[in-house]
Structure 1
Amino acid sequence: MNKVSFDNSDSSPETNASSQYNVPCMPHMDATEESSIKSVEPYKTFLAGEILFWIFVILSGGLYYLIDYWFLCLHLFLRYKRVPTSEATMLVIKTMYFVDLIPTRQISSKGLGTVLSFTHHNLRYYYDGKCVQPLYFNSTITYSEIIDNLIGGYNYDEEVTEKRNLFGKCEILIQLQSFLSLTFEEIKHPFYLFQLFSVILWFLELYYVYAVCVFVITLISLLSSTYQSWKSMHDLHDLALRYVTIKVKRGGEWTTINSEELVPGDLIEIPRGTEMPCDAILISGGAVVEESSLTGESVPVIKDALPYLNDKVYSVEIDRHFSLYEGTKVLQTRNHGEKQVIGLVVRTGFSTMKGKMVRSILFPKPNKFKFTRDSLRFIGCLALVALSGFAVSIYLFISTDVATDEAVIGALDLITIAIPPALPACMNIGTGFALHRLKKQGIFCISYPRINAAGRIDVFCFDKTGTLTEDGMNLLGVNVSRKGKMSELHKSAEQIEKNKRRFLTCLATCHSLTYVNDKLVGDPQDLEIFKFSGFKYSLPKDEGSEVKAYASLNSDSDNKNEENYDTAILHIFYFTSKRKRMGVIVKNLQNDNFEFYMKGAPEIVLERCRKSSIPDDIEHVLDNYTRSGYRVLACAMNSLNTIPAEEMKAQKLENLEQEMSFLGLLVLQNKLKAQTIPTIKILQKAEIETVMSTGDAVLTAISVAKECHIIKKDATVFLAEMVDNEIVWEKFTNEADDVPKENILNEPPWLNADNNGDYTLAVTGAVLNAYDALAKLNDTTAAQSINILLKKCRIFARMSPEHKTLLISRFQEIGIMVGMCGDGANDCGALKTADIGISLTEAETSIAAPFTSSIPDISCVPIVLQNGRCALTTSVQCFKYMAVYSMIQFTNVQILYVLGSGLTNNEFLSQDLITVLPLAMAMGSAGPYHKLSKKQPISSLMSVAVIGSVIGHSILQTIGMVVVYEVALSMPYFTPVDDASDDYLNDANTIVYLMALLELISVCIAFNEGRPWKKPAYKNVWFMVYISLIGMLHVYLVLWPPQWLMDLYNIDWFPMYMRLALLGIWLAYSVVAFVYERFVIVWIYQRHEKWKRNKRSKNALESRVLKA
């Protein structure tokens, strides 16, 4: 038996070797773009470097271990040396977004010998002595080669062992780290290490209570972050890993094994009710499969055995009707002349379609929201401020003859204040609350970073059928061909003449319906068409029959001229988005004649029909229907009497569809879902562009787009289609007559100055693909054209799944944040590629998209966007609050250090635990605002608004404390700090500390902006209750504190006039802080955005002038 297991093609490697140590790598057919290997560098550990490493670790007290962990270049420099690839023990793998250090291993097989191998992103590779080759079971061969060479099964255990050694076990096993191990990995993050350093420092200073509390906060933050990672990985692990018992043919006999023991090339029996443990080709029999957990498509799919064809090459992704995918459930099986339904295993583990989706979750594209990066940069800025304070403090301590150790510890303490310990927990508050709210509304998310991304969506793309419109179709009627003209619209089968029964036969047989549990299931469109035909549909009683089904004229019909008109369906050519048509081979049981029927897109079917059979007015009728928004399908047939019966099933579709006879048209109405128009209006009011991406004809798409308000009913629309491999533009009109010559454009509409930009575009997927192909050839005009196309086009028609994914990618390339909403397998690529993808499916756990909505219409989109904006706003607000809080505390301590005093443990605790952390949590608990606003929230922590806000408030709070101190200093009661005393109970400490405490409330109120992204603060019950309580407590502490509270907070007595002066200064500060945040910062941000827009416009104008 010939097993084709390796790809040793001589095609050019993806990366050319720059040296003997930079290894070229062939692309892996199962790798996504972001996982495709760009370069491979071989390394090997050496003893001297390892010894030196551990010496450095010991001498540095473990610090060098962390530095080595953080910096790969240093790790490689000291512990590894470059070697020829054949000697490598480790490889540095570089992809588009990742750099990984991967161990190698040796594998052996008869075909390869002993070679170096490695696994990257759960895909396997080996080194053939010249370059790195992908390792996979090669099923990309002709149908006939698969049937001739690969369906014998394995005869020897050695063969199975070899394949398992090469391809691994048949399982999508995500290696789970223990909670303790994940915690240790998390601790290595610089932030947590800094917190650990802080806690140790505070223990040295005898700040036990505060150190313990900070340790608890940090521990909670650490454990929360670790738990989120641990739980998400466990959820994905449980979703991905499935074991079943299955029968496999080994040594010529059928035996039952656990599915993890399967290897590519195995023959397996497919029982009813099983969940597929691998990707397999159906070799014999048939099956009905539910693929909702994989694709989001709720309609059961019929699978047929692979036909014996010499010139058709199998693809596991394209030949879906012959393929069973891991994770899908087999609802029903049917053997055709065989005792068993048999499949050939071609993909196992992470190489399967399900494995590919799991890999995309494990190794996603880096999120555009660089919150972690921005937060670290911001913390770096705070650290610089703290270092300046450190230097000043050292100088002050030395100049006042403080002991060196005390001076260093005291100055280091100032640095620790700059990094708020609760920052990570606060940064995730918004996301956590949003996840909870979405789940309560029936929307589930498997990729948490996408929630913040939902807050900045600019464009939202929608599939049409099943998303904007109902799943089901209403068949308005049919038009048959009659004496060279199209008939009137027949709204029932009884109106069709007896001699047009072939047309009804086409309706009754050209589909992929089947029975599951005595219920006829399949595509809702096919169900509606079959119902119209008046036929009955039945499966053969003999499961071994070669007949797939029977279609019989309904004997209960009221038609008085009925006849017994039985037809057997022998073979189905299934519909695919690529070929836009389907066909069936049937046998007329009344005369034993074989016939071929086709149903599909009119432009596809008509070009395969004899011209003499096509009515003269077909174009007029088609235009009339499509411009009215109806979906139109064409039907045709061929007589197959010249083909021998035994060769019938081996015929190619292309051979059967030549010179067909046109039969008629089906006119279907796809009604909009009730929530489509209201939702589109909501998005458009929020200035989120709405785009339709559909497989329907462009004229139908334009009509539906107008109906659902994606474009205005009176909008000027220019449409483009490919005609003879050329892009042809024309102006859309509502008239169904021939397009006037003046409507045909000689150039794209954006080159015509008369249009003034007030128009909308509608193009087909072929046009989009053509512009994209030209742009990739560095065609400057095409690159500009596609950018204009993306900005002006709202209708993309005749879109294949690949076209939909291309559209999303193109939007992202020009910096547009794009969302996608769809309901089926055709949308999977676009849903995964989009910044946020929402799959409409009843399955709670689906990996078809980051978001899964059990709400069956697009009303879920505003819900996701509103929660995204709320979460994003909360993250930014919490970050600003924590940053300013750290600066308030830093300033508080720095002023007291200068005066020779400081804060006590309880004073620190009152700021951190009693004031800041609860307020931050309460601030983040607010739900989303009920309307989707035009204004989008700030998404970058390094934006002018955020930086300006933090710097401005840092200055204001400093001024507030200085003013309070200066006023107190001028009062007769005030006693300066005694340099000889170590007691922090003094007038300076009291007045500055209380001002800092009150400022923490003021900035929280200033930052807690609600509308237009969050509910107003007064509707946030938790926040209002706590801010009221803590505010009253602090005012009470200023005006009438009892002695026990003064002792607890370590504050000194001061006269009422100073208390009132303090409150007056605080109120003035609060007003200034509020005005600065709500008005000044907004004005600065608006001016900056206007400047950026003007700059972009100026650059664009200069570019056009230069090109002119």
Structure 2
Amino acid sequence: MKSTQPSQDAVVIDRGTEDELWCIGYRDNCVKRTLLYVLSLVTLGLPLLVLHWKPDWAVKLTKTQCPLRQASTVLVKDTYGQTHAQDVTVKEVTAGRIVADYNCEDSDISSVQSDDDTVALTTNPQEKCFVRYFEHSHVRYIWYRGTMSFSPIRGLDSDTTCAMIHEDFTGLNEEEQLQKQHLYGENSIDVKVKSYSRLFVEEVLNPFYIFQICSVILWSLDDYYIYASCIVLISGISLAVSLYETRKQSQTLRDMVSSGGATVQVVMSSGEMVETVTSQLVPGAVILIPTRGCMMSCDAVLVSGNTIVNESMLTGESVPVTKTPLAPSEANEVYSPEMHKRHTLFSGTQVIQTRYYGDSKVKAVVVRTGFSTAKGELVRSILFPKPIGFKFYQDAMKFILFLCCIATLGMIYSTTMLLVQGVHITKVILRALDIITVVVPPALPAAMTVGTVYAQNRLKKAGIFCISPPRINICGKLKLICFDKTGTLTEEGLDMWGVATIQENNFLPVVQDPSALPSHGAFAVAMATCHSLTIIDGEIAGDPLDLKMFNSINWIMEEPGKDTTRFDSLTPTVVRPISMDTYYSAAPETVAYEVGIVRQFTFSSSLQRMSVIARVLGASHMNAYAKGAPEKIASLCQPDTIPEDFHAVLHSYTRRGFRVIALAWKTLDERVNWLQAQRISRASVECDMSLLGLLILENTLKPQTTPVIHQLKNADIRTVMVTGDNILTAVSVARQCGMVAPRESIILASAYVPEEGKPALIEWKNIGDEQMEGENTADENGVEDLGIVTYQSACIDVSKPRYHFALTGRSFAVILQHFPELLKKICVRGTVFARMSPNQKSQLVEHLQALGYCVGMCGDGANDCGALKMAHAGISLSEAEASVASPFTSRTANIECVPIVVREGRAALVTSFGVFKYMALYSMIQFVSLLILYTKVCNLGDWMFLYIDLVITTTVAVLMGHTGAYQSLVAKRPPGSLVAPRIVLSIIIHVAMVAMFQAAAYFYLTCQPWFTPAPHSATASTVNSWETAVIFYVSCFQYLMLAFCFSKGPPYRRPIWTNGR
């Protein structure tokens, strides 16, 4: 928190999370409010204008601090140091079990105004129940009597066990639904679209426009009507365009997230089905998912039936995802949308198909609504983005303050000179105030956006779309870029390389064509059943890896229809070999050619595996098949089924960059029937299995990857791989693409949590070039042991100056918890981060930023959204709607866009620096000109000001940004600070030279025999004079020459003569 320690009445909400808030209560104070209004009347509303800019000041000046339980307004301060004022609302609702914990006493609401729009919902006047809440960033914080504090109310995703979801949430009655509606509010993601009139008022009250309005009034009083009219016209056009674009963006976002007036069937506690508008849904309600599919308007967890969902809106993953019912599991397992995402239907995702058994319906329990849903969180991140905090903009404000100080000195000088020469006091005041409009030009903020506007247009032509133009400048300072692997550095699709089966505890020779495997063998059946594929519009669809695996064995998949009765309606999917001759000739007792998939345990990122329960036609028992990360699958298998050289064989493939998947199986007890298969726990199935072998797939680098990585390394931009894949596969890809040079060492850091009284430890192992090539392997994993580091001695002595760390997500989590002192070294030297969860990717980006890196993130959208939002510059390679969470989206699905974004960022940053310095020097030139002329009681004319400001300055400032980015990247990054000594010295020298030449021109003029001094004027408005003409002409040339000085070319922009090409 950036603020000082709050008072004792402050309360911390969501401590330790990114949503942490400091909350301080205030109540109305009539005396303070009255005094403020009186002061505002006396000062023509100036205090009200200032308080409009600083709402927290308004609360402190009109209200009295008090305990939260008596507050009518709260001041909340977030983790970024931003303060917001929110009104506390009171609602009168029907008393009942659900709202009992949120009821507040009459004494607590005596100072709080009730919601005028709320109708009393109780039929008995004696049974009153009041709830108090405020809303911040579209999250409702409700008063909870148990803690005497406000708490965010989100849904059923906290402290709700899986067993409770099945047992306690079977439907709500009307009274419970009504109470929850008033607790949670409407289930809608309503993006407010402000009217043009409101937008106009808010924009006009912006300090920039207030300054312009004051300037126009000043110029009009000084008879500069033409100049003032032109400024009003230009500002009016700019304002109109700004209002149109702002409202259009809000309308576009609203249309994108709006669910309209859709309806859904809700199961009531009585068992009755009621058609309800989706906006009335509440957590705990049970809904039916229609067979024709639908767009989800809430987050809900499946309790019966299967669904096939397109989640591209949230994850960027366009492949269909199968969702299965949540198992009751252990009674104490807490439900989590993230941990149980394979059972959760998220808001904004499209349900394509449903699967149910017999007369059962596909039911789901609503867990989150409105802005608390996954879609709502995404929209909130767009509406309330993390402050960029770019030093360039902070320095710009400091520099403007510096210009104001110079303007103050100029006012003092001009006032003194004009008073000494007998100028009328009214004109002295006007001339002094005019100095402010000269030194701090009103067009400065607009001129600074020129570089980003042109860069955004050039990026658009290159197929790269930017929804956050200020981020373009930040791209010019990128020092480190994180890359996802699959789909980003490597091809999205996988090619089948072969299978290594196991027989009698030994690996057999690799089979290049899996279709040649025996159809009745367990390995072929595992490949045919252990997947999440489905049939959509007659085509098999699903995960690319599953598709490649299934298609390689030449089997057929059928899903049940009206005529599919071989396994009755309880079996959703059937697979069989494509060869019908083999099918018909097989003996019944050995048939393994038609298999029904009875149940599916979908892939889990945390478990790194999936499994299915299947039944062979005619068999008396069911089998379980599993596939996943080799290390995980091996840990589930009986030791006597794992070959002794398992790790060596696995390493021989992973070090060559192959994607390796292990398969295993086991026979279930004959007493397990269909009903028991639906209720059996995952842990009971995924244990004591037999290892079948390895599935080996080839994931090749994209042709653009290696050249781009070399470009970035030559530009001294560090590259890091952050992937969910196997660590040795990731290391191999890192070497292939050039992230790690051939002779550089990679040190594998394996961290382990404390066990049985032993401290946490880290094992350091060297994965050298020799090991990757298969020479001189130091152990069975082909790595050289460098030693163990315990919690007490967290250090490592690496002799080689060039080395890289590689570690898994599990080790990363252990280091965060037990070795925080090593985190900096890991972040500085870490190049390969494998088996990273989406949340860990975001954590890594955040820790890199904390070390001072300007971090970019490039991913294909799947599991990368959090990191893309967290990074300074997120570049999504997915065109899915999830790209709205990323500042940049590339139409071309390879990393060639990264150096383009960096080049344009550097060009835009250099342009912004150049334009800023030009505008600062332009104001200084005019400042010097006026001081010289005021000394002689002269001034520039109306048309002269117009010519300088519009014809020269505006045209030059706009055209300065038209020069394109340089064709290549260099190691040196452009400066990022306006107050750097070199920048400040440059401006000072230019100001001195400008003043010297204008003074020299003036003195040269006075030495001419034909020179006649300007006559004395009591208004200091003499325009027709030699002094005015000379100063005007000299300054015009200075404006033009400075434009050339500040229009820099290589190595960040093209030469100035290419401007406009």
Deviations 1:634-671 (A, max 9, x none): 11111112553132221222222222111101111101
**Distance in 2, Cα, partners of 1:298 & 1:73:** 44
Cα shift at 1:81: 0.8
Structure 1 position 33, deviation (Å): 4.2
Post-superposition Cα deviations, 1:34-74, rounded to whole Å, max 9, x if no partner, equal 4321x211111222222111111110011121222334564
Determine helix, strand or coil for the equivalent of 2:532.
coil
Indicate yes or no: 2:918 matched with 1:881: yes
Taking structure 1 as reference, are residues 685 and 518 closer, same or farther at Cα in structure 2, changes over 3 Å only? same
SS in 1 for 2:187: coil
Aligned to 2:699: 670
C-alpha distance in 2, partners of 1:443/1:338?
50
In structure 2, distance between residues paired with 1:338 and 1:848: 41
SS of the residue corresponding to residue 570 of structure 2 reads coil
* 1:847 alignment partner, SS class: helix
Deviation string for 1:677-725 (max 9, x for gaps)?
Answer: 1221221221111111112222111111111111123322221223576
Q: 1:217 to 1:758 in 2, by over 3 A?
A: same
Deviations 1:357-410 (A, max 9, x none): 111122222103144433222111111111111111111111111111111111
SS in 1 for 2:1050: coil
**Does residue 727 of structure 2 align to residue 698 of structure 1?**
yes
- Whether 1:144 and 2:172 are equivalent positions in the alignment is no
User: Cα deviation per residue 1:558-601 (whole Å; 9 max; x = unaligned)?
Assistant: 99997662111111111121111111111122323211111011
Q: Give the match's secondary structure for 1:648.
A: helix
Q: CA offset at residue 220 of structure 1?
A: 4.0
Alpha carbons 2:751, 2:812 under 8 Å: kept: no
Query: For residues 788-833 of structure 1, what are the alpha-carbon distances to aligned partners after superposition, in whole Å with 9 as ceiling and x for unaligned?
Result: 2222221111212222112111100101011111124321221111
Cα distance change, pair 16–709 in 1 and its aligned pair in 2 (3 A)? closer
Seen in structure 2, the aligned counterparts of structure 1 residues 309 and 743 have a Cα distance that, compared at 3 Å, is closer
What letter matches 2:826 in structure 1? L
- Judged with a 3 Å threshold, the aligned counterparts in structure 2 of structure 1 residues 622 and 896 are, in CA distance, closer, same or farther, namely same
Q: Which residue of 1 aligns with 2:85?
A: 101
**Aligned to 1:555, which of 579, 583, 602?**
579
Letter in 2 for 1:633: I
Paired residue for 2:378?
357
Distance 1:855 1:457 in 2: 21
Aligned equivalents of 1:1004 and 1:607: distance in 2? Answer: 69
Against the structure 1 CA distance between its residues 177 and 322, is the aligned structure 2 distance closer, same or farther, given a 3 Å change threshold? Answer: same
Aligned counterpart, 1:1051? none
- Say if 2:263 is the partner of 1:243: no
State the partner residue of 2:215. Answer: 198
Change (3 A) 1:495 1:273: closer
Distance 1:924 1:960 in 2: 28
Counterpart CA distance in 1 for 2:576 and 2:488 is: 34
Alignment match, 2:73: 90
Match of 1:939, SS? coil
Q: Is 1:492 matched with 2:517?
A: no
CA distance in 1, matches of 2:752, 2:10: 47
Q: 1:661 to 1:491 in 2, by over 3 A?
A: same
The change in CA–CA distance for 1:820 and 1:172 in structure 2 (over 3 A counts) is same
Q: Do the aligned residues in 2 keep the contact of 1:26 with 1:131 (CA within 8 Å)? A: no
Matched residue, 1:46: 29
- Measured in 2, the distance between the counterparts of 1:326 and 1:194 equals 45
Q: 1:22 aligns with which of 10, 16, 19?
A: 10
Following TM superposition, by how much is the alpha carbon of 1:957 offset from its aligned partner in structure 2, in angstroms? 0.9
Other-structure match for 2:279: 260
- Are the structure 2 counterparts of residues 278 and 445 from structure 1 closer, same or farther at C-alpha, using a change threshold of 3 Å? farther
2:303 to 270, 283, 295: 283
Partner Cα separation in structure 1 for residue 581 and residue 528 of structure 2? 15
User: Which residue matches 2:845?
Assistant: 808
Q: Identity over aligned residues, as a percent?
A: 36
Aligned match of 2:489? 468
The match for 2:108 is none
Corresponding residue for residue 123 of structure 1:
139
Please report the TM-score for the alignment, with normalisation by the length of structure 1.
Answer: 0.86
Indicate how the Cα distance of structure 1 residues 592 and 558 shifts in structure 2: closer, same or farther if over 3 A, else same: closer
Q: Which has the higher helix share?
A: 1
1:183 maps to which of 183, 200, 203 = 200
User: Closer, same or farther in 2 for the Cα pair 1:437/1:338, shift >3 Å?
Assistant: farther
What's the offset of the Cα at 1:77?
3.5
SS, match of residue 760 in structure 1: strand
Aligned residues of 1:568 and 1:589 also touching (Cα < 8 A): yes
Question: CA separation in 2, counterparts of 1:370 and 1:219?
Answer: 31
Structural mapping, 1:528-927, within 5 Å = 528-542=548-562, 545-555=569-579, 565-641=593-669, 643-645=671-673, 646-722=675-751, 726-732=761-767, 733-734=771-772, 735=774, 739-740=778-779, 743-746=784-787, 755-775=799-819, 782-783=820-821, 785-843=822-880, 846-927=883-964
Q: Deviations over 1:85-134 (max 9, x none)?
A: 23211001111112110000113452233232111111111222422222
Q: What residue in structure 1 maps to residue 111 of structure 2? A: none
Residues 984-999 of structure 1 correspond to what in structure 2 (within 5 A)?
A: 984-999=1023-1038
Q: Give me the whole-angstrom Cα distance separating, in 1, the residues matched to 2:261 and 2:527.
A: 40
Q: 1: CA distance between counterparts of 2:1049 and 2:440? A: 27
CA distance in 1, matches of 2:603, 2:519: 29
Partner of 1:521: 541
Q: Is the 1:629–1:701 contact (alpha carbons within 8 Å) kept by the matching residues of 2?
A: yes
RMSD: 2.5
Shift of 1:296: 0.8
Call closer, same or farther: CA 1:356–1:286 in 2, change over 3 Å: same
Distance, in Å, in 2 between the alignment partners of 1:806 and 1:754 is 26
SS at 2:604's partner residue? coil
SS at 1:929 equivalent:
coil
Q: 1:385 is matched by which residue type in structure 2?
A: I
2:474 equivalent in structure 1: 453
In structure 1, the partner of 2:231 is 214
1:882–1:494 Cα change, 3 Å: closer
* Distance of aligned partners of 1:762 and 1:933 in 2 relative to their CA distance in 1, 3 Å threshold: same
Q: Aligned with 1:115: secondary structure?
A: strand
Maintained 8 Å contact 2:519/2:525: no
Distance 1:999 1:138 in 2: 67
After superposition, the Cα gap between the structure-2 partners of 1:527 and 1:201, relative to the gap in structure 1 and judged at 3 Å, is: same
* Letter matched to residue 703 of structure 2: A
Distance in structure 2 (CA, Å) of the matches to 1:683 and 1:816: 15
- Alpha-carbon distance in 2 for matches of 1:256, 1:914: 65
- Worse overlay, 80-89 or 618-627: 80-89
TM-score when scaled to structure 2? 0.90
Structure 1 spans left out of the alignment, 5+ residues:
1-14, 776-781, 1023-1108
- 1:475-523 per-position Cα deviation (integer Å, ceiling 9, x unaligned): 1111111222111110123543577x10111111111000111110111
Q: Is the 8 A contact 1:290 1:298 kept in 2?
A: yes
Partner of 1:942: 979
- Relative to structure 1, the CA distance from residue 456 to residue 896 in structure 2 (aligned partners, 3 Å threshold; closer, same or farther) is same
Tell me if structure 2 keeps the 8 A contact 1:26–1:132: no
1:149-177 CA distance string (max 9 Å, x none): 1122x332x33332221111111112222
**Do the aligned partners of residues 197 and 807 (structure 1) sit closer, same or farther apart at CA in structure 2, a change above 3 Å counting?**
same
> Which shows bigger deviation, 228-237 or 480-489?
228-237
Cα distance in 1 between the residues matched to 2:251 and 2:355: 36
Number of equivalent positions = 993
Q: CA 1:244–1:327 in 2, change beyond 3 Å: closer, same or farther?
A: farther
Separation in 1, partners of 2:1045, 2:795: 49
Query: For 2:510, what is the secondary structure of its paired residue?
Result: coil
Shift in CA distance, 455/233, structure 1 to aligned 2, threshold 3 Å: farther
